[in-house]
């Protein structure tokens, strides 16, 4: 079945530090991959996505590359800000009837200190 494994947190960084949040997946077929973010007191919202192998999704300084050879979609940012403090979720969408239960990662709590 389809599933994602996301690195456990929480992650605590100082402002301007480099961020990596690991995400690996197991899937049949050719899924699309997403990162969603949940800021304090708000609902989940899309951060970025990639729909095929070698695609790079980017938004707000965050990037993630769809790596089929390593079945990974790691989230990176070169210089984090206090406003990036949030919970980040990796998500796999294979569509059809192969959606599966574990297609969201467990979430990684990021806290950025000034």
Q: Binding other proteins by CB under 8 A: which of 7, 13, 17, 44? A: 44
CA–CA dist 49, 47 (Å, integer): 7
Q: Binding other proteins by CB under 8 A: which of 26, 58, 72, 106? A: 106
Q: Does 57 bind other proteins (CB under 8 A)?
A: no
Q: Binding other proteins by CB under 8 A: which of 6, 33, 86, 112? A: 6
Q: Does 40 bind other proteins (CB under 8 A)?
A: no
HSE of 13, CA atoms in CB hemisphere, 13 A: 23
Phi first, then psi: give them for residue 83, nearest 5 degrees: -70, -10
* 3-state SS assignment for residue 28: coil
Q: What's the angle, vertex CA 114, arms to CA 8 and CA 90, rounded to 5?
A: 25
- 57 pairs with which residues across the strands? 64
Q: Does 2 bind other proteins (CB under 8 A)?
A: no
Contacts with 95 (C-beta within 8 Å, 6 or more apart), sequence order: 31, 32
* Choice between 17 and 24, CB closer to other proteins: 24
Q: Binding other proteins by CB under 8 A: which of 19, 77, 105, 112? A: 105
Binding stretches for other proteins (CB under 8 A): 6, 32, 34, 36, 42-46, 49, 89, 91, 93, 95-97, 99-107
């Amino acid at each position: 079945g389809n599933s994602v494994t996301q690195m456990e947190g929480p992650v605590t960084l100082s402002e301007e530090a480099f961020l990596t949040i690991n995400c690996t997946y197991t899937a049949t077929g050719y899924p699309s991959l997403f990162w969603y973010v949940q800021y304090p007191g708000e609902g989940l919202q899309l951060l970025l996505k990639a729909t095929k192998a070698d695609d790079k999704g980017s938004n707000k300084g965050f990037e993630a590359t769809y790596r089929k050879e390593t079945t990974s979609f790691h989230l990176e940012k070169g210089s984090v800000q206090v406003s990036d403090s949030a919970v980040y979720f990796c998500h796999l969408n294979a569509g059809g009837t192969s959606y599966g239960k574990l297609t969201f990662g467990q979430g990684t709590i990021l806290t950025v200190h000034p």
